[in-house]
């Protein structure tokens, strides 16, 4: 089958690889000259297989009024008509008691993702700083810590730590124990540089005999004949295929709209800095400040914030200053040189579950909306998509990710 993958972020690249390996003739299209140039470039670098709880929850509903009044610095909201429509769906999900179902579905997809990444690396040794560094989640508020305690039957081994134990585990921390309620440590969690992974997988795709690459190619209007998507228009002419995979990240909604479909995806902006120098032994999430720290080869990635403010990709100096200040207050790492400021848009659905599988438009498949967890879920999403396109029994439940839920 000829399959055209729209988008060369981490989700499009993995889709292209899994499809090509399954024997399909793949065309990969992106507007940038290089792969992974948008949300996948400099994200938080956490392969967060155990922490997949959705953003929408009854607890979020309780916090929402304070957030909307500006009480939470990590989250900023500037309402627009698109956000209001998305937000109404988000509120319905918060009230629906779907947290358990979503978490179970995401855990299954995350486990598949971990297994598929390991298999990929056996065949293709890619160098992107993958490390089982373990993740320490720090809680500054006693209430948050109590809510977060793992259940005794949790699938993954986790340790509940006192403030003093957190500091012993991660000696680079310089928070006073009295400022912490405690921590949860998950030794099996991994880190890796998503941008480097994209570059390396792209190099393999370039050499793959089943793959044609069309970079620097903005995707124009869809070409629909007798109710079937048969092509896409580009400046360099139409690209035709038997199936199309929509993996345009935050841009997925616009292409879907041109196809007559409404996808509930909103761009949620985040920022990061990359501080040169090895400092951390583990990946750390500062839960109260919504900032994550990941050790990469020779650097520390610091990322955070969820700004609901439309598609503007400007790197905001105030956000970068907050990350730098938080890093220097939490660890002894800031101020060691150029910090490579960056901003990206997470493609978020109201229930935090990606959209994977056929769309209502014949010929168009979806693999998008991975939101906060696109790096973690990419390889599993690609495998699930490939199995669905081929009509095979999927290796994890597919129904929770079907677009028909909206
Ligand atoms: C600050 C921040 C921290 C994060 N931390 C983590 C983390 O620690 N762990 C984790 O798992 N996830 C994390 N994420 C989420 C993760 O980065 C995203 O979910 C993931 O990168 C989305 O990948 P994607 O391929 O869907 O989108 P993108 O990487 O944005 O790729 C979409 C591609 O589509 C192309 N495109 C769009 N429109 C068009 C068009 N019209 N024509 C041609 N090409 C087009 C773009 O050029 C782009 O290359 C984080 C995100 C942010 C912003």
- Distance from C-alpha of 40 to C-alpha of 111, rounded to nearest angstrom: 20
- CA distance linking residue 116 with residue 383, whole number of Å: 8
Question: In this predicted structure, what is the pLDDT of residue 70?
Answer: 73
The whole-number pLDDT of residue 237 equals 97
**Whose structure tokens read 């509940």?**
160
CA of 203 to the centre of ligand 1 (A): 19
What does the CA dihedral 30, 34, 38, 39 come to, rounded to 10 degrees?
Answer: 100
Residue 337 has pLDDT above 80, yes or no: no
Spacing, Cα 346 to ligand 1 middle (Å): 6
DSSP 135: E
Measured between alpha carbons, how far is 270 from 293 in angstroms, rounded to an integer? 14
Would you state the pLDDT for residue 64?
Answer: 85
Pocket-testing residue among 117, 346, 353, 385, ligand 1, by greatest number of atoms within 8 A of Cβ: 346
Q: How far, in Å, from the CA of 155 to the mean position of ligand 1?
A: 28
Tokens of 105: 């579905």
109 and 357 Cβ atoms separated by less than 8 Å: no
Confidence at residue 43, expressed as pLDDT on a 0 to 100 scale: 98
Separation of CA 103 and ligand 1 centre (Å): 21
Q: Which tens digits make up the pLDDT trace of 110-149?
A: 999 999 999 999 999 999 999 999 999 999 999 999 988 8
Q: What percent of the chain has pLDDT over 70?
A: 98
Tell me how far apart the alpha carbons of residues 222 and 220 are, in angstroms, rounded to a whole number: 7
169 vs 131, 184, 281, 301, CA distance in Å?
17, 11, 9, 19
Whole-prediction pTM value? 0.97
Sign (positive/negative) of CA torsion 63, 65, 66, 69? positive
Q: Residue for token digits 């730098």? A: 324
Angle between helices 81-95 and 58-68 (to 10 degrees): 140
Average pLDDT over residues 243-250: 98
Token reading at 227: 């109710």
> What is the average per-residue pLDDT within 41-53?
96
Q: Which atom of ligand 1 is nearest to the CA of 371?
A: 19
Residues 176-233 have pLDDT tens digits of: 999 999 999 999 999 999 999 999 999 999 999 999 999 999 999 999 999 999 999 9
| Element containing residue 23 per DSSP (H, E) | none
Mutate to test the pocket of ligand 1, among 32, 38, 114, 366 (most ligand atoms within 8 A of CB): 38
Q: Which long-range contacts (CB under 8 A, 24 or more apart) does 173-181 make?
A: 173/138, 173/284, 173/330, 173/331, 174/329, 174/330, 174/331, 174/332, 175/138, 175/329, 175/330, 179/140, 180/138, 180/139, 180/140, 181/139, 181/140, 181/141, 181/142, 181/144, 181/145
- Name which of 192, 399, 390 is nearest 295 in CA terms: 192
| pLDDT, position 334 | 60
Q: Which CATH topology does 2-134+188-405 take?
A: FAD/NAD(P)-binding domain (3.50.50)
- Among 27-41, 111-125, 274-288, the range scoring the smallest mean pLDDT is 274-288
Question: What mean pLDDT do residues 361-367 have?
Answer: 98
What is the pLDDT, as a whole number, of residue 152?
A: 60
**Among candidates 68, 60, 51, 69, which has minimal Cα distance to 94?**
60
State the chain's mean pLDDT as an integer: 95
Residue 166 Cα to ligand 1 midpoint, Å, equals 32
Query: How remote is the CA of residue 235 from the centroid of ligand 1, in Å?
Result: 23
Domain boundary assignment for the chain: 2-134+188-405
Atom of ligand 1 nearest to the CA of 248: 34
Contact residues of ligand 1, CB 6 A cut-off: 7-12, 30-32, 37-40, 43-46, 48, 218-219, 247-251, 270-272, 292, 303, 344, 346-347, 368, 370-376
């Amino acid at each position: 089958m000829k399959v055209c993958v729209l988008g060369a972020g981490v989700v499009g690249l993995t889709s292209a690889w899994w499809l090509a390996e399954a024997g399909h003739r793949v065309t990969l299209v992106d507007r940038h000259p290089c792969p992974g140039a948008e949300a996948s470039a400099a994200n938080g670098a956490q392969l967060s297989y155990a922490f997949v709880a959705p953003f929408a929850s009854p607890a979020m509903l309780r916090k929402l009024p304070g957030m909307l009044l500006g009480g939470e610095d990590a989250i900023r909201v500037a309402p627009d008509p698109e956000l209001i429509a998305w937000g109404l769906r988000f509120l319905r999900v918060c009230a629906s008691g779907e947290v358990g179902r979503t978490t179970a579905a995401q855990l299954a997809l995350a486990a598949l993702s971990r297994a598929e990444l390991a298999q990929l690396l056996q065949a293709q040794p890619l160098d992107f700083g993958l490390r089982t560094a373990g993740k320490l989640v720090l809680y500054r508020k006693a209430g948050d810590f109590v809510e977060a305690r793992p259940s005794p039957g949790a699938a993954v081994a986790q340790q509940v730590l006192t403030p003093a134990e957190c500091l012993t585990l991660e000696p680079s921390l310089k928070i006073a124990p009295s400022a912490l309620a405690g921590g949860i440590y998950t030794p099996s969690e991994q880190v890796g540089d998503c941008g480097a992974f994209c570059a390396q997988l792209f190099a393999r795709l370039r050499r793959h005999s089943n793959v044609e690459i069309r970079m620097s190619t903005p995707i124009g209007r869809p070409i629909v004949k007798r109710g079937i998507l048969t092509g896409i228009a580009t400046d360099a002419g139409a690209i035709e295929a038997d199936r199309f995979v929509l993996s345009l990240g935050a841009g997925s909604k616009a292409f879907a709209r041109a196809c007559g479909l409404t996808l509930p995806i909103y761009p949620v902006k985040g920022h990061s800095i990359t501080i040169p120098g090895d400092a951390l032994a583990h990946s750390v999430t500062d839960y109260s400040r919504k900032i994550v720290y990941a050790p990469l080869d020779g650097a520390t990635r610091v990322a955070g914030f969820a700004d609901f403010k439309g598609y503007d990709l400007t790197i905001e100096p105030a956000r970068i200053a907050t990350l730098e200040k938080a890093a220097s207050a939490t660890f002894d790492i800031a101020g060691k040189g150029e910090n490579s400021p960056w901003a990206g848009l997470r493609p978020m659905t109201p229930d935090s579950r990606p959209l994977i599988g056929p769309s209502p438009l014949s010929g168009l498949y979806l693999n998008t909306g991975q939101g906060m967890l696109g790096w973690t879920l990419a390889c599993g999403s690609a495998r699930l998509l490939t199995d669905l396109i081929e009509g095979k029994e999927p290796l994890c439940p597919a129904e929770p990710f079907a677009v028909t839920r909206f």
